[in-house]
Structure formats: structure tokens, C-alpha cells
Amino acid sequence: MNGRLPILIVFIVLLYFSFVQTYPCLSQHSPKDSIFLFAKNEGSPATKEDSKPSPIPAIEEYEREKLAKLKRNIGRRFITTPTVNPATFYESPDDLERKLKIKRDKETFLIMGVVPNRLGTMYFYRVRFDSGEIGYLSGDGNNLEIEIKKGSLISLTQKASPKKNSLSQSKALASRAVELVKKHPTLSDPLTGRTRSVEMRMVQQKEKSFPNLKWRYEAKDLGRHKYRVTQYAKEGGGPPLIRTWIVDLSTDEIVPENLAAKEMYR
């Protein structure tokens, strides 16, 4: 009996290891060991593939540089010329089937801003013709420079240093913001029913009630194509009445800001 016991023990051990190899799941790590391995893997250095920079920041930087380049043309004036392939203007950046019809062969226009289409896939110059019409000219693919080279557009803006050019553009945009406020419709005339603009209301107040009334406008750049237009109205030696509007030149939207300006619309 004593001689058979060691043989029996050896047989049991061999049977155990044979069973473990057949069912490897029995030799898995405990939950504690798994947590340890996970933490170790988390702290391991990134692979070469993981260290590759994401392409998204590069694309965003390209789009920023592209937009900044296009915005340098804001404030420039051009004239269209009769050519075989004239420059194409659109009524909307979101509908390229609707082309803006130029009434005359030669039309001057001012670049007012740069706007994307609804999908954000293309940029357009928002232009205002001297006739008052608003159109959109493609800005992608150096289209403006191509139109100039082929002679369909002629620049009327004199070349200047970047500083002077920037100042000129800023003044042109500020003047545009002031003009939009002056022409913005307010309450209709209760007697005639005619719509009265901000400037017309001021003229009527001077003629009817305040013969010594004087007023002036100022525009401050708020960035992102927005301006705050302030009107100072004064009669006599008292403090001026101040009205303010926020003007978005990319959409021509005008919003009265302070209470004095809002009163003109009530």
C-alpha cells in the first residue's frame, strides 16, 4: 500500500496538468491581475501609429488661412467688362442655378464680406453693385484673381500698403453700416401710411418739433462683420440722446440695441 501511494500522487498531478491544458480558461488571471495588466497597458508608451497627428487641426488651419486671404479683398472695388466669358454672380451662395443678371456691360461693385454656403463647402464674396443689387461671387480656387487676369473684372482700388489698405477697408465698411442704419425702416407715418427710415424720422422731428436738432453717426467694428452704429442727437446745450444699433454686414441685419433706438420702432 505504501509503495502505491507515491505512484497515485504522481498520477493525480499529471492528470491535473493535462486537464488544465485542455481547459486553459482555468489558468486565467484573477480580476485583480486583470486590473493590474490594464493599468500597465494604459501607462505603456504609444505606438508609432498612435503618435501620428490628427488631420483635423491641419485642415482647420488651412481653412483659417484661406478665409484670412479672402477677407483681404474686403473693401476693394471692381468694374465688370464685356467679355466672351464674363464673371458669374449668383443671387444666393446656396443656389448656383440662380445667376444674377447684370443689366449693363459695365457695373461697378464693392466687396462687402466673405460668406460660406449653408454646407460650409464653398466661400463667396458678398458684393454690392452701385445699382444697389447684392450678389455673390465665388472666392474659391483664386477665382477673383482668375477673373482679373482674363479681363472680365478690373480693379478700381489703388494698390496701397497693407496698413493703408486695411484702414481704407475699415472706413468703407463703417460707412456701409451707417448707411444701412439711416435707411432702416421704422414706424409708418400715421397720416400717410408711408414707411419712414431712421434718417427720415430725424428730418421730420427737426422740421416739426426741434428746429435746432443736430445729429451724427459713428460706427465701431465689433469683429465678425458686425458694427455698432451710434447716433448722437442733440438740441441746445443739454446732453445728447444716444441711440445704438448692431449691424451685421454679412446679412444686412440691423437690430436696435438700446431703449432709445427701440422706441423708434414702437
CA–CA gap between residue 42 and residue 33 (Å, rounded):
14
Whether this prediction's pTM lies above 0.85 is answered by: no
CA–CA gap between residue 69 and residue 62 (Å, rounded):
11
The 10 Å Cβ neighbour count of residue 208 is: 8
* pLDDT digit string, tens, across residues 248-265: 988 889 999 999 999 988
Using an 8 Å Cβ cutoff, are 85 and 116 in contact?
no
What is the biggest distance separating any 2 CA atoms in the chain, rounded to whole angstroms? 133
Using an 8 Å Cβ cutoff, are 137 and 73 in contact?
no
pLDDT at 191: 75
C-alpha cell belonging to residue 4 = 502505491
C-alpha cell belonging to residue 169 = 477697408
Strands 185-188 and 123-129, by their bridges, are: unpaired
With the CA atoms of 95, 97, 98 and 103 taken in that order, what torsion angle do they form, in degrees rounded to the nearest 10?
140
The 10 Å Cβ neighbour count of residue 255 is: 13
State which residues of the chain have pLDDT below 50.
Answer: 20, 23-44, 48-49, 52, 160
Using an 8 Å Cβ cutoff, are 233 and 241 in contact?
yes
pLDDT at 32: 45
Nearest-Å Rg of the Cα atoms of the chain is 36
pLDDT at 116: 92
162 membership: H or E segment, kind and range: helix 162-183
The 10 Å Cβ neighbour count of residue 42 is: 7
pLDDT at 265: 87
